[in-house]
Each structure stands twice: as structure tokens, then as C-alpha cells.
Amino acid sequence: MTGQLAPWEPQGRALRDEWRGASAGPIEVHVHGGDVERLDAAHFFREPADFDDWEHSALQAARGDVLDLGAGAGCHALALQARGLRVRAYDVDSHAVSVMRARGVQDVQLGSLAEAPDACCDSLLLLMHGIGLAGDVEGLAWLAEDAARVLRPGGRWIVDGRGPPDEADCGVSRQHLEYDGSVGAPYDWLWPHADFVQHELARAGWRCAALDTPRDGRWLLVAER
């Protein structure tokens, strides 16, 4: 153990090592009071041929200038670039940013939505349980406000998520990441059902539609204002 890092740095280190061909094992997602989920860093380098149907639906819904938030190793950004769309990818982790630049994502920014200029995109992508990044219900309201700020008039927010395993509308878990002995600081992760998100976003003036049939509690929405 080498001491606690920023929450996403263990995953960033795993992406860096995978890119170098020197992976040192899985990324572990430790849900406090729950299970440990193990993820292979190679998953973040998936090609369009490996995408699930819901990912194809999400990418098909993107148009105009795209902002990919929490872009990881850039798999979606690269697929959209290949389709001729202009993509700006944001990630809070510097290793992820370096990997995306090395892989050819043309516009990569270290940071989050708060750093993005007003009215800079027509589509905002937040994928791979993207809504989880909101952290909690208050965070969802902040995220929706920032999403509205960065989208141009007529723009769309394409976001996926997964509901909690119990009967609740919405859950929050505290979790941390670990990779090769490096441990990230804990962070909160939001697990809302699609209905809950639609209801919360409607209160802020968004209209939502399902882009895919929910499966295993997993959903994909497009939201417009």
C-alpha cells in the first residue's frame, strides 16, 4: 500500500499501465459495506465492435459538437471522431488524459464540467454509469445545472446509470478504487432509477426519453430542454 491517492487515480494508473502493455491486475471497486467489483483495464480500451447495443444507441444519438465527460481512455470519443464529429473529452485524472492524447483524441482537457465554457457543445455524453458521478441527489441538481450551461440551445444530454439493488428510488454508496496496491480516496456514487432521474430533471425543465430498454436495472436516457 502506497498511501491514499485522489479518488480516480488508481484507475488512471491502470489505464496508463494497460496502454503501456504492463497491466498489473484488475481495478478493484470497493463498495463500503458491500462487494468488491473487479474490472479489467482492457475494458476501457474497447473498440466499437465490442460496444454493447446501448453504447451504439448512445453514440447514434450524439450530434454536433460533443463533450464527453469522464471520458476515461477515450473509447467513445474516438468512435465519434471517426464518424467526423468534433469531440472535446474531459477527465479529472491526468493519466486518463495522457492516454487519450496518446490514442489520438484531438481535444482532451484535464478537469470536469465546471471547467467547460458556456454553450460549448450540442451533445453532452456521460457514459458507463455516468450519472453515478453526481455522487448524491444534491450533486445531481448541480450536474443538471452545469449540463444546461454547457449545452447550446437545442442540445442534448445523453446519460446512463443503474438503479439500486433494493426497492428504493435512488441509492448512494461510498466506495474507493484500488489498483496494484494503490488506494484512492473514497467518493460517493449515485444509483438512481431512470424514473427518479426523469422526475428530478423534469423539475429543472428537462424533457427525458429512454434511448434503450432498461436491462438489469441499467438505463440510458436522452434529456433536452
Give dist(CA 198, CA 190) in Å, integer.
14
- Least separation in angstroms between residue 69's CB and ligand SAM is 5
Q: Which stretch binds ligand SAM (CB under 6 A): 22-30, 68-76, 161-169, 190-198?
A: 68-76
Give dist(CA 76, CA 46) in Å, integer.
9
Whichever of 50 and 202 has its CB closer to ligand SAM, that residue is 50
- Which pairing describes strands 151-162 and 121-126: parallel, antiparallel, or unpaired? parallel
Site pattern 114..143 for ligand SAM (x: CB under 6 A): -------------xx----x----------
Q: Which of 17, 18, 91, 122 binds ligand SAM (CB under 6 A)?
A: 91
Q: Which of 27, 29, 75, 201 binds ligand SAM (CB under 6 A)?
A: 75
Give the list of residues 6+ apart from residue 94 with CB closer than 8 angstroms, or none. 12, 110
Does residue 69 bind ligand SAM (CB under 6 A)? yes
Does residue 196 bind ligand SAM (CB under 6 A)? no
Does residue 96 bind ligand SAM (CB under 6 A)? yes
Where does the chain show beta strands of DSSP type E?
4-5, 27-31, 36-39, 66-69, 87-91, 107-110, 121-126, 151-162, 170-179, 182-184, 187-192, 207-210, 218-224
Dihedrals phi, psi of 65, to nearest 5 degrees: -80, 130
- Residues within the interface to ligand SAM (CB under 6 A): 8, 11, 44, 69-72, 75-76, 90-93, 96, 112, 127-128, 133
